């Protein structure tokens, strides 16, 4: 487990899953030149390369300011040529080298694209969810995909910091996919942060850090628990019935925030695909509520905090 790294460089390693599917939707066209049309985005990938599948997108890595990489496994013959594309939503990114073909070698494939070169941005957005597709050239029915963002549990950490300290069954759960509901709270000056992740099957984990300033001793506390599908669906129903779906992506109390609070709530569940960031708001009761945030952020914050406080138990802690 690593100490919080410099915030300007973020490395996130996501274990992502693969899928193969056939779609009848019309293809999404790439900016010229493009070897073949880009297939339209489909449902989220399956957890692993199942029997009969021919390609998987198993790993993505981003070192912001330097590169973005993807790799995976394949049962296609050596030398089979593959195409790739990076998207935001269903829009292919024009800077991605979609005309660069890669090959399957000894059952694996990989592609690395430098950031800050050949039209690529120097940094990927911290507030954007990216989707990646890889498929056999001229045969988009043989395809795999993955998705990622740079939110991460905590800046500078791997996607699952401290997971090696979890019991084996919890380690397996952490690497089975990505959370569908996430909340990160960061107090930079106080040197405190917390991260909550809720999986589609109700598995919950929480990471709390204190003393993350340079002159302090850092303590990390890992918690895990579970909520029912009904509780998760109830949370989603509230998000739909409140004004959460129509909120802006960013809110600040004023141009000069009165606190260093940085709160982010991110949801990818069922029909909900939303993230909201709020900065500078004040809590009068030591974090129990943040009442000045625009409705319904405080209500969602309180519900997620209750899950973190009441539905999880400490698994491990470490002082660094």
Beta strands in 26-129 (DSSP E): 59-63, 67-73, 81-88, 91-92, 102-103, 108-114
Long-range contacts of 42-49, Cβ-Cβ distance < 8 Å, separation of 24 or more: 42/143, 42/145, 43/19, 44/19, 44/145, 44/147, 45/16, 45/17, 45/18, 45/19, 45/144, 45/145, 45/146, 46/17, 46/18, 46/19, 47/17, 47/176, 47/177, 48/17, 48/18, 49/18, 49/73, 49/75
Higher pLDDT, 238 or 127: 238
Domain positions in the chain are 11-148, 163-319
Nearest CA to 262 out of 234, 228, 297 is that of 297
The pTM of this model reads: 0.52
Mean pLDDT (the chain) is: 75
pLDDT tens string 187-220: 877 778 888 989 888 989 888 888 866 677 778 8
Q: How much is the pLDDT for 259?
A: 63
- 152: exposed, middle or buried (Cβ count in 10 Å: 0-12, 13-18, 19+): buried
CATH class assigned to 163-319: alpha beta
Lowest mean pLDDT, pick from 81-95, 128-142, 161-175, 256-270: 161-175
Lowest mean pLDDT, pick from 8-22, 93-107, 280-294: 8-22
Residue 172 clears pLDDT 80, i.e. is over it? no
pLDDT band at 249 (very low <50, low <70, confident <90, very high): confident
Q: How much is the pLDDT for 254?
A: 64
In CATH, which of 3.30.1490, 2.60.120, 3.30.70, 2.60.40 is domain 11-148?
Answer: 2.60.40
Residue 18 clears pLDDT 50, i.e. is over it? no
pLDDT, average across residues 132-157: 72
pLDDT tens string 71-113: 888 889 999 999 999 987 678 899 999 999 999 998 899 999 9
Beta strands in the chain (DSSP E): 11-15, 59-63, 67-73, 81-88, 91-92, 102-103, 108-114, 130-136, 139-148, 181-187, 192-198, 203-210, 219-226, 250-252, 261-269, 272-279, 312-319
Alpha-carbon distance of 2 to 10, in angstroms, equals: 13
């Amino acid at each position: 487990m690593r100490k919080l790294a410099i915030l300007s460089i973020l490395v996130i390693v996501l274990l992502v899953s693969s899928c193969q599917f056939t779609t009848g939707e019309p293809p999404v066209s790439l900016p010229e030149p493009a070897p073949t049309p880009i297939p339209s985005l489909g449902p989220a990938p399956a957890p692993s390369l199942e029997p009969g599948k021919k390609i998987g997108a198993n790993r993505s890595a981003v070192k912001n300011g330097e590169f973005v990489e993807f790799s995976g496994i394949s049962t296609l013959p050596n030398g089979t040529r593959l195409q790739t594309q990076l998207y935001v939503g269903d829009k292919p990114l024009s800077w991605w080298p979609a005309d660069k073909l890669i090959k399957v070698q000894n059952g694996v494939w990989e592609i690395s694209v430098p950031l800050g070169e050949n039209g690529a941005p120097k940094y990927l957005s911290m507030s954007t969810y990216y989707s990646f597709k890889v498929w056999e050239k001229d045969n988009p029915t043989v395809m795999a995909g993955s998705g990622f963002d740079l939110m991460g549990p905590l800046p500078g950490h791997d996607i699952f910091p401290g997971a090696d300290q979890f019991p084996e069954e919890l380690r397996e759960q952490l690497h089975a996919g990505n959370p569908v509901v996430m909340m990160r709270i960061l107090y930079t000056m106080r040197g405190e942060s917390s991260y909550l992740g809720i999986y589609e099957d109700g598995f919950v984990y929480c990471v709390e850090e204190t003393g993350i300033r340079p002159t302090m001793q850092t303590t990390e506390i890992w918690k895990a628990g579970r909520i029912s599908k009904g509780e998760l669906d109830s949370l989603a129903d509230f998000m739909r019935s409140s004004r959460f779906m129509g909120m802006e992506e960013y809110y600040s109390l004023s141009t000069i925030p009165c606190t260093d609070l940085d709160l982010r709530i991110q949801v990818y569940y069922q029909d909900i695909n939303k993230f909201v960031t709020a900065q500078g708001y004040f809590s009068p009761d030591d974090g129990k509520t943040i009442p000045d945030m625009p409705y319904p952020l405080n209500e969602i914050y309180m519900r997620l905090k209750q899950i973190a406080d009441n539905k999880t138990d400490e698994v491990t802690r470490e002082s660094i």
